[in-house]
Amino acid sequence: MNKNCPTEYNPWLHYFAIATAITTFLLLGLGGLVTSHEAGMSVPDWPNTYGYNMFLFPIGKWVGGVFYEHTHRLLASAVGLLTVILAVWLWRGDARRWMGRLGLVAVLLVIAQGVLGGLRVRWHMDNLGVFHGTVAQVFFILVCALALLTSRWWLQLSAERNWVSVPAGLRSLFVVTTFLIFLQLMLGATMRHQHAGLAIRDFPLAYGQWWPDTSPEAMARYNSQRVEVVTETPVTAFQIILQMFHRLGALAIFLAVTLCAWQARRQLGRRDGLARMAAAWHGLLILQIGLGIETLHSNKAADIATLHVMIGALSLVTGALWCVIAFRRSDATPKLAGNRANSGELNCPAVLALGGK
């Protein structure tokens, strides 16, 4: 194929990438449920399940926490399989070499993810759950990006190049904000993998103060009063401070995303796709903060806490994809009419297909 040709749109590849992304999102949710139900260690062995080959584990034994952990492992295997197929397809069927490489990275990530999850169980290291949760988010970004990059919309955008370019300042603002969200997710994952129940219950105050007392006497007092049904573990000062940072992080992110939405609208115009996306992002973050507060009020009801994880992942992905699109649109010189002939794209069949819009 002529390497100057724009990539041909392959609808099935694109749908397949979307299916992989959606399955990954469901897997994230199921993984969130495992942690919400404190079921991460309910299947003591790996890769076997209670001594059975995991695919032959009898359904009658999928009880209590085992149900979440086991279905998580099964769905994870499905995502692994989808990822491998997607990678092979990209490698062989996408003219962009780097797409094949991205597919390979996805495969490596999904393998790392499986091994991390397995070692967490085998080594009894709850802390690995934090990395497992973080890598999951990165992997999710990657498959969503693959779905975006294989879309007709993206290929058309790249071929036609008739965009309003996104100023560097605006791009940096979004990159920094997305990174803040990433840090917030890591903080959140660290909190969840303390397996200690909520370190602070009240909001916006914390133990009745703007900044809670974490002296040893205060900690002893909090713990002597604490009665938990699940995760009955003493709370530590570290955990309280972790949640305080998560709260401050939420405030910082909220302000940053508000600024992003406002600036995108101001600099790109209200009708620009990226401005709209930024507005939706803003809405997503308001929802996310509401869910965070509700997580506290519901004393960490498993469904609410899990939704908080899932919307958190969507917030991150929205920011990341915004940045990907913005960098695509960073070119300061929009394509002039007639360029196409000059760049040797004349004989490209895909252009004709795309141009037929």
Shorter beta-carbon distance to ligand HEM: residue 14 or 192: 192
Look at residues 79, 93, 72 and name the one whose alpha carbon lies nearest to residue 19. 79
CA distance 251 to 119: 35
Sequence-distant (≥ 6) Cβ neighbours of residue 266 within 8 angstroms: none
Applying CB under 6 A, which residues contact ligand HEM? 35-36, 133, 181, 184-185, 188-189, 191-192, 198, 203, 246-247, 250, 253, 285, 288-289, 292-293, 295-296, 300, 305, 308-309, 312, 315
Contact status: 301 vs another protein (CB under 8 A): no
Nearer to ligand HEM, 126 or 272 (CB): 126
CB of 59 to another protein, least distance (A): 14
Distance of closest approach, residue 85 Cβ to another protein, in angstroms: 33
CA distances from 247 to 106, 244, 293 (A): 32, 5, 10
C-alpha span between 281 and 269 (Å, rounded): 16
In terms of Cα–Cα distance, which of 294, 23, 289 is closest to 143?
A: 23
| Helices 302-328, 152-160: inter-axial angle, 10-degree rounding | 20
Rounded CA-CA distance 191/356 in Å is 52
- Least distance in angstroms from the C-beta of 194 to another protein: 13
Please tell me whether residue 37 binds another protein under the rule CB under 8 A.
yes
Of ligand HEM, another protein, none, which one sits near residue 42, judging by CB under 5 to 8 A according to partner kind? another protein
Q: Quick check: 56 binds another protein (CB under 8 A)? A: no
Residue whose structure tokens are 């955990």 = 239
Per-residue contact string for residues 252-281; x = within reach of another protein by CB under 8 A: ------------------------------
Of positions 127, 231, 339, 347, contacts another protein by CB under 8 A = 231
Q: 216 preceded by cis ω (within 30°)?
A: no
Q: Rank residues 56 and 227 by Cβ distance to another protein and give the closer one.
A: 227
User: Considering beta carbons, is residue 36 or 49 the nearer one to ligand HEM?
Assistant: 36
SS3 209: strand
Q: Which does 250 bind (CB under 5 to 8 A by kind): ligand HEM, another protein, none?
A: ligand HEM
Binding partner of residue 124 among another protein, ligand HEM, none, CB cut-off 5 to 8 Å per kind: another protein
* Using rule CB under 8 A, residue 64 touches another protein: yes
φ and ψ of 209, to 5 deg:
-130, 160
Residues in contact with another protein, shown as a per-residue x/- string from 101 to 130 under the rule CB under 8 A: -----------------------x------
H or E stretch at 155: helix 152-160
Asked whether position 230 contacts another protein by CB under 8 A, the answer is: yes
Question: Quick one: 150 or 295, whose CB is closer to ligand HEM?
Answer: 295
Find the shortest distance in angstroms from Cβ 188 to ligand HEM.
Answer: 2
Sole residue written with tokens 């032959």: 56
* Contacting residues for 235 by C-beta, under 8 A, at least 6 apart: 196, 197, 199, 219, 222, 223, 226
Q: Are 180 and 242 in contact (CB under 8 A)?
A: no
Q: Is 232 in the site for another protein (CB under 8 A)?
A: yes
In the bound complex, what is the minimum distance in angstroms from residue 73's beta carbon to ligand HEM? 17
Q: What HEC string does 80-143 produce?
A: HHHHHHHHHHHHHHCCCHHHHHHHHHHHHHHHHHHHHHHHHHHCCCCCHHHHHHHHHHHHHHHH
The residue among 252 and 353 lying less far from ligand HEM, judged by its C-beta, is: 252
Can you give the binding site for another protein, defined by CB under 8 A? 37-45, 50-51, 61, 63-66, 69, 124, 217, 220-221, 223-233
